[in-house]
Amino acid sequence: MMSTDNILLASHGTNGAQAAEQMAVSLCNKGGTIHHLVVVPTLWEGMTGDDWLNNGSTRNTFRRYLESELEQEVAEHCDRISRYAKENDIEYTNEVVVGEPDECLLDVSNKQNYDLVVMGAPRPKGVSGLRSRMSNDKLTRTISTPILIAPYPTDE
């Protein structure tokens, strides 16, 4: 089985992303590094409640609440992967950015030399939840680092 020392993991906590997390840890050599990228899509920037909140003070309160909830979710997600990596003697770092997922992944992959990028497969049709806006076509044509896409987990 392939193993490596320096992995860029693109994960945001969904079932498909968790499959990628497990694969990254299984492929990373002891003493290796996993750099975890969490992209908060720009669509969250526009969540102000303007359509139902009728004054600026209430909108600001709602925006602060939403930002706090997102921060807490991301922190819990990163803590879970950090513990998993530590249990496997792998160094863990993370980076949280706001932007378009494919563009952010390309930017981060170009900042450092990674041996491998690991990410989850898109959610299958018929499975509920927010659909990723990741453009795999653009990503695979542009990125210079090998990419491993973990299969979406099945209930079998």
Residues 112 and 1: their CA atoms lie apart, in Å, by: 24
Looking at domain 4-45+78-150, its CATH superfamily turns out to be HUPs (3.40.50.620)
Lowest mean pLDDT among 11-25, 107-121, 122-136, 142-156: 122-136
Residue partners of 38: CB distance under 8 A and separation at least 6: 11, 12, 74, 77, 78, 94, 95, 96, 97
Question: Percentage of residues in the chain with pLDDT exceeding 90?
Answer: 50
H-run or E-run covering 30: strand 28-41
**Residue 134's pLDDT is what?**
67
Whether 88 has a pLDDT exceeding 80, the answer reads yes
Mean pLDDT of 36-64: 69
**Residue 126's pLDDT is what?**
78
The mean predicted confidence, pLDDT, of the chain is 85
Q: How many CB atoms lie within 10 A of CB 32?
A: 20
Query: Domain map of the chain by residue range?
Result: 4-45+78-150
**E strands within 42-115?**
91-99
- 113-140 confidence digits (pLDDT tens): 999 999 998 887 877 766 566 667 778 8
**Residue 66's pLDDT is what?**
78
Mean pLDDT of 50-70: 70
Q: What share of the chain is helix, strand, coil (3-state, %, to 5)?
A: 45, 25, 30
pTM summary value? 0.84
Whether 9 has a pLDDT exceeding 70, the answer reads yes
Query: What size, in residues, is the chain?
Result: 156
**Residue 61's pLDDT is what?**
74
**Residue 71's pLDDT is what?**
86
Return the SS3 of 48: coil
